Amino acid sequence: MMNKRVEVESPFQRLAAINVNEHVDKKQNLSYLSWAWALDQLLRADPAANWTFNDPISFGETMMVSCTVTAFGKPVTMHLPVMDHRNQAIKNPDAFQVNKNMMRCLVKAIACHGLGLYIYAGEDLPEGDAPENKEEKKEEEKTRTKVTPTAGSSDNVPANIRKEIEEFAEGIQVHFDAGMDVKQIVDAMTAENYEPDHKVYFWSLLDSKCRTAITKFKNAAKAELATQA
């Protein structure tokens, strides 16, 4: 009797087959995968996986961070410039900016083990979920490159205020992800009393889940006021 050859999926193939789209947030034209979720998936696949952040390297006024992720017995090291939300290298980055990019680098190193790797190839969907014909692909490209109301929102915001807004937006996002009451978030936003251009830029920095929650809360508050009038 002939022996049948059994194809065994590699750990990379199993992680690469995971659709990460529901855990990706879009900011401007960039995609961000939650580092906490990525680590959770990696450790489920390999409980012995570990990671190390290497010492940052300076290049003039800019900086490069790197991270080594060892999974399934294989170490992979990836590098990432300390960048802003526009993927531009930050001059003289502070500790907050370095830390944020270290976590982005961690996700990138995890991706080399398969999880979410297709994001870095510019793909929106894993193999098997891709559009079946050229017309659908063209329509998908139009959607991806469509200009949004917040595109270029930072153009009229001074650099010093831009940094302040970015840090505030980051704080709001962190508190939202941690389960902070939306009313408290709205109150904090109202207290800042930003100029119209500044508000638009701030709004563009929040992820879609946070913006949706804030919008729903404000709409509910308006509806309640309308019933009391």
Label residue 90 by pLDDT band (50, 70, 90).
Answer: very high
Q: What is the mean pLDDT of residues 37-52?
A: 96
Contact 31, 24 (CB under 8 A): yes
What's the one-letter identity of residue 120?
Answer: Y
**Is residue 155 pLDDT above 50, yes or no?**
yes
Sheet holding 50-59, edge to edge: 50-59, 62-71, 74-81
**Is residue 107 pLDDT above 90, yes or no?**
yes
**Is residue 207 pLDDT above 90, yes or no?**
no
Quick one: pLDDT at residue 159? 80
Q: What is the mean pLDDT of residues 44-73?
A: 95
Quick one: pLDDT at residue 223? 83
Q: Which token pair is 184?
A: 């408290």
Q: Which token pair is 144?
A: 């991806």
Q: What is the mean pLDDT of residues 213-228?
A: 84
Q: What is the mean pLDDT of residues 17-22?
A: 88
Overall CATH class of domain 11-129: alpha beta
Phi and psi at residue 26, to the nearest 5°: -105, 130
User: Of 72-81, 123-132, 169-178, which has the strongest mean pLDDT?
Assistant: 72-81
Label residue 205 by pLDDT band (50, 70, 90).
Answer: confident
**Is residue 138 pLDDT above 80, yes or no?**
no
Contact 69, 45 (CB under 8 A): no
**Is residue 31 pLDDT above 90, yes or no?**
no
